[in-house]
């Protein structure tokens, strides 16, 4: 069994971006500028946004964090996004999810300029992804594909089971893995809450992508010997023995599954860092398409 170290793989990507940025800066090229919008004070969101800002600093990007009260109106938030859409100094815009109940995430996503949608959630970018056209791929699925590439994991002709059908991870993963890319060409099965034989389907998988948000859902009896396990889950579980009062758990029972599989991602330290690395690549691409190259 080999650990798919997301910290190591993401660092390699960030180091490559940092080197390229230094070369471009020496030529007087513009620096990519990412603007993150954080609405409210959700603890997990605070952590995610801080990681994104730190990554920007590390690779040499400019970043701006806009903090807004949880009570902000939808109209005011949309006005801020529209201003950023027309700001020539801004290359990438992301609005950290989840949003307060009174704000429609769909409306917010649809308002972001597709050319600055570095989260890859705008319908235009999703449609281009489905068609296999160049676009911004949602950061977590993109990060997983980069991780598979980093470790040279063969996907061609393999059976991949994606557990979870969210628009953020499950559905995009099924599209990317079944596509005609270097790490695609899989036969893909999507499982969800209405799938009756999940355990049986998982046992038939060469690759399992667990992305349903249920701690420890994938157990040893659901995994075939030698399978590749990608754990996207990251849930805070109450734990009185920890100083923080909680522990981070993935969707896979790591202790029982890891001895049986060929590759597995840890939680934390697996998919999470790759999501950040993918966001950096998307932000670079948004700037590059404007200032550096015709295609990235």
What is the tens place of the pLDDT at every residue in 97-118? Answer: 999 999 999 999 999 999 999 9
Same domain, 196 and 91: no
Same domain, 192 and 228: yes
Domain containing 198 equals 139-271
Q: Which CATH number belongs to the domain containing residue 67 in this structure?
A: 3.40.50.10860
Same domain, 101 and 168: no
Q: Domain count for the chain, please give it.
A: 2
Residue 165 lies in a domain: yes
Same domain, 172 and 233: yes
Average pLDDT over residues 255-279: 96
Average pLDDT over residues 65-94: 97
How much is the mean pLDDT over the chain?
94
Same domain, 143 and 106: no
Residue 293 pLDDT class (50, 70, 90 cuts): low
Tokens at residue 116, please?
Answer: 């600055």
Q: Which CATH number belongs to the domain containing residue 191 in this structure?
A: 3.40.50.720
Residue 224 lies in a domain: yes
Residue 188 lies in a domain: yes
Q: Which residues are designated catalytic?
A: 52, 96, 119
What is the tens place of the pLDDT at every residue in 34-45? Answer: 999 999 988 788
Residue 260 lies in a domain: yes
DSSP string covering 127-143: HHHHTT-S-PPPHHHHH
Same domain, 70 and 145: no
Residue 119 lies in a domain: no
Q: Does the pLDDT value for residue 215 go beyond 90?
A: yes
- What pTM did the predictor assign? 0.94
Residue 235, CB-side half-sphere exposure with 13 Å CA sphere? 17
Three-class DSSP category at 36? strand
Residue 139 burial by Cβ neighbours in a 10 Å radius (0-12, 13-18, 19+): buried
Q: Does the pLDDT value for residue 296 go beyond 70?
A: no
Residue 154 lies in a domain: yes
């Amino acid at each position: 069994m080999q650990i798919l170290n997301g910290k190591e793989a993401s660092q390699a990507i960030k180091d490559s971006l940092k080197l390229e940025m230094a070369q471009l800066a020496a030529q007087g090229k513009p620096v990519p500028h990412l603007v993150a919008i954080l609405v409210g004070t959700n603890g997990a969101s605070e952590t995610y946004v801080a990681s994104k800002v730190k990554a920007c600093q590390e690779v040499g990007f400019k970043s701006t964090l806009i903090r807004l009260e949880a009570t902000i109106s939808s109209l005011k938030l949309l006005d801020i996004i529209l201003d950023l859409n027309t700001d020539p100094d801004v290359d990438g815009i992301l609005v950290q999810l989840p949003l307060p109940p009174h704000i429609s995430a769909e409306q917010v996503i649809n308002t972001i300029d597709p050319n600055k949608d570095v989260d890859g959630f705008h319908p235009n970018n999703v449609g281009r992804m489905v068609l296999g056209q160049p676009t911004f791929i949602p950061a977590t699925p993109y990060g997983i594909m980069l991780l598979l590439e980093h470790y040279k994991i063969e996907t061609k002709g393999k059976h991949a089971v994606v557990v979870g059908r969210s628009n953020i991870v499950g559905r995009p993963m099924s599209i990317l893995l079944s596509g005609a890319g270097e790490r695609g060409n899989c036969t893909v099965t999507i499982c969800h809450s209405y799938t009756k034989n999940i355990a049986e389907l998982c046992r038939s998988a060469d690759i399992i992508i667990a992305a349903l948000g249920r701690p420890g859902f994938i157990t040893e009896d659901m995994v075939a010997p030698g399978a590749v396990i990608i754990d996207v889950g990251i849930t805070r579980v109450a734990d009185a023995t920890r100083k923080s009062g909680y522990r981070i758990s993935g969707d896979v029972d790591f202790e029982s599954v890891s001895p049986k599989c060929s590759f597995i991602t840890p939680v934390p330290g697996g998919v999470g860092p790759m999501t950040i690395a993918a966001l950096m690549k998307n932000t670079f691409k948004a700037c590059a398409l404007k200032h550096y190259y015709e295609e990235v």
